[in-house]
């Protein structure tokens, strides 16, 4: 792998694309996206369902032709060097896409041979051992549980030691311990120079990324470190805690200045961009028996909910149905 020729990559960007656009019929799924990911960083790719994350990732690894836009992945041109990109990139699909009628070992060996990995057997053996799947290696992949399928897929897409990982919701359905192991592994690899772009819906994962990109309806609406994104949101959040806090949710939602209210356990997060209006809305409840109201740094989730509502107001669900986390 290390024998790869490194074409001119002056800026040290693993991903460098501009104006990436994809249309399906009359619908624009991705609308002029710019992403520049420096070598060795871990970037989170976030956005509501249908916002264009998968479509963007597919364009990055050459599985979809961009209608507009140009750029490079690992220094290879997106339009003309798709084959080279495929060799050097590890792509994990959102939906499990390995062969369910092949065993775990057979799947991995197939991948190893497709990438012409030297001494494929040993490499596959290592991977199986690392996954702790020695005793189940001849089990059919289709018989694995959802989480194990994800782990297999992840191991398979890293088998050829790619220099860039494009992971599409790699931890969906994976238990917390495995998720933590996964992130430890990601950071270890990024320390060795691997670049990662990972899409996720989990806040804690977003917080583990060097930078996040938030996309909505095909447009990037926020980017930067977690602190920057929170800062840029200009959002203020008050936490209402204590007896009867829950019952206030409905009333607060109707109040002027309150953009959204969400439950965090017994507490309410009341958020809006106009701090004074928020204060006014909360004023009647201040000093109420057993109720504590305090300002807090908005959580990433608060910010994302705001971003989602702001950029897609027509899809705003009825307030009652907004699911608490």
Ligand X SMILES: Nc1ncnc2c1ncn2[C@@H]1O[C@H](COP(=O)(O)OP(=O)(O)OP(=O)(O)O)[C@@H](O)[C@H]1O
Task: Give the residue with the Cβ less far from ligand X, 31 or 299.
Answer: 31
Cβ atoms of 157 and 194 within 8 Å: the answer is: no
Q: Which of the listed partners (Mg ion, another protein, ligand X, none) does 68 bind, with a CB threshold of 5 to 8 Å by partner kind?
A: none
Q: At what angle do helices 176-191 and 146-157 cross, to 10 degrees?
A: 10
Confirm or reject binding of residue 65 to another protein (CB under 8 A): yes
- Beta-sheet pairing, 236-242 with 260-264: unpaired
DSSP sequence for 253-300: HHSTT--EEEEETTEEEEEES-HHHHHHHHGGGTT-TTEEEEEEPPPH
Kindly determine how many residues on this chain lie close enough to bind Mg ion according to the rule CB under 5 A.
Answer: 3
Confirm or reject binding of residue 294 to another protein (CB under 8 A): no
Confirm or reject binding of residue 143 to another protein (CB under 8 A): no
CA distance 259 to 217: 20
Q: Which residue from 15, 33, 35, 111 is in contact with another protein, where contact means CB under 8 A?
A: 111
Task: Give the residue with the Cβ less far from another protein, 65 or 130.
Answer: 65
* Shortest spacing between CB 215 and ligand X, in angstroms: 7
Q: Which of the listed partners (another protein, ligand X, Mg ion, none) does 278 bind, with a CB threshold of 5 to 8 Å by partner kind?
A: none
- Report CA 12 to chain centroid distance, whole Å: 22
Q: Which two tokens stand for residue 195?
A: 């670049």
Confirm or reject binding of residue 182 to another protein (CB under 8 A): no
Cβ atoms of 186 and 90 within 8 Å: the answer is: no
* Shortest spacing between CB 123 and another protein, in angstroms: 14
Q: Which two tokens stand for residue 244?
A: 């009867």
Q: Which residue from 113, 121, 234, 247 is in contact with another protein, where contact means CB under 8 A?
A: 113
Q: Which of the listed partners (another protein, Mg ion, ligand X, none) does 50 bind, with a CB threshold of 5 to 8 Å by partner kind?
A: ligand X
* Shortest spacing between CB 158 and another protein, in angstroms: 13
Q: Which residue from 31, 51, 54, 127 is in contact with Mg ion, where contact means CB under 5 A?
A: 54
Q: Which residue from 94, 103, 190, 219 is in contact with Mg ion, where contact means CB under 5 A?
A: 94
Confirm or reject binding of residue 3 to another protein (CB under 8 A): yes
Q: Which residues bind ligand X (CB under 6 A)?
A: 24, 29, 47, 49-55, 94
* Shortest spacing between CB 110 and another protein, in angstroms: 5
Task: Give the residue with the Cβ less far from Mg ion, 53 or 163.
Answer: 53
Confirm or reject binding of residue 99 to another protein (CB under 8 A): yes
Instruction: Please choose, from the candidates 48, 51, 49, the residue with its C-alpha nearest in 3D space to the C-alpha of residue 301.
Output: 48
Instruction: Please choose, from the candidates 97, 93, 124, the residue with its C-alpha nearest in 3D space to the C-alpha of residue 108.
Output: 124
HSE value, Cβ hemisphere, 13 Å, CA-based, for 86: 12
User: Which residue is it, tokens 């249908």?
Assistant: 50
Cβ atoms of 180 and 186 within 8 Å: the answer is: no
To which H or E segment does residue 196 belong?
strand 195-199
Confirm or reject binding of residue 63 to another protein (CB under 8 A): yes
Confirm or reject binding of residue 58 to another protein (CB under 8 A): yes
* Shortest spacing between CB 114 and Mg ion, in angstroms: 24
- 50 SS3 class: coil
Q: Which of the listed partners (Mg ion, ligand X, another protein, none) does 116 bind, with a CB threshold of 5 to 8 Å by partner kind?
A: another protein
CA distance 217 to 306: 14
Q: Which segments of 70-175 does DSSP mark as H helices, in order?
A: 82-88, 104-114, 120-131, 146-157
Confirm or reject binding of residue 199 to another protein (CB under 8 A): no
Residues of the shown chain interacting with another protein in the complex, contacts defined by CB under 8 A? 1, 3, 58, 61-65, 82-84, 86-87, 89, 91, 93, 95-102, 106, 109-111, 113-116
Residues that bind Mg ion (CB under 5 A): 53-54, 94
């Amino acid at each position: 792998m290390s024998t790869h020729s490194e074409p001119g990559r002056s800026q040290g960007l693993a991903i460098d694309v501009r104006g990436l656009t994809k249309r399906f019929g009359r619908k624009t799924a991705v609308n002029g996206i710019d992403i520049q990911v420096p070598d060795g960083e871990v970037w989170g790719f976030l956005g509501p369902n249908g916002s264009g994350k998968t479509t963007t990732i597919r364009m990055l690894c050459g599985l979809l032709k961009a209608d507009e836009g140009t750029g490079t992945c690992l220094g290879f041109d997106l339009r003309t060097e798709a084959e080279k990109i495929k060799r050097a990139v590890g792509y994990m699909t959102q939906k499990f896409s390995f062969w369910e009628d092949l065993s775990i070992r057979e799947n991995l060996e197939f991948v190893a041979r497709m990438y012409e990995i030297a001494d494929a057997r040993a490499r596959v053996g290592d991977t199986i051992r690392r996954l702790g799947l020695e005793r189940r290696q001849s089990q059919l992949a289709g018989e694995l549980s959802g989480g194990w399928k994800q782990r297999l897929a992840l191991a398979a897409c890293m088998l050829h030691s790619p220099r860039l990982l494009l992971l599409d919701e790699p931890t969906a359905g994976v238990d917390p311990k495995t998720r933590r192991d996964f992130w430890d592994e990601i950071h270890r690899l990024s320390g060795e120079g691997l670049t990662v772009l990972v899409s996720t819906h989990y806040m804690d994962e977003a917080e583990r990324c060097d930078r996040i990109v938030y996309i909505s309806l095909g447009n990037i609406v926020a980017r930067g470190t977690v602190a920057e994104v929170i800062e840029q949101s200009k959002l203020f959040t008050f936490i209402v805690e204590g007896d009867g806090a829950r019952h206030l949710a409905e009333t607060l939602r109707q109040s002027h200045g309150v953009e959204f209210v969400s439950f965090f356990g017994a507490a309410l997060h009341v958020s809006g961009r106009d701090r004074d209006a928020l204060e006014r809305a909360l004023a009647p409840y201040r000093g109420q028996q057993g109720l504590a109201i305090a300002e807090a740094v908005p959580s990433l989730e608060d910010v994302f909910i705001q971003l989602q509502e702001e950029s897609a107001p027509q899809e705003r669900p009825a307030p009652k149905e907004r699911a608490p986390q």
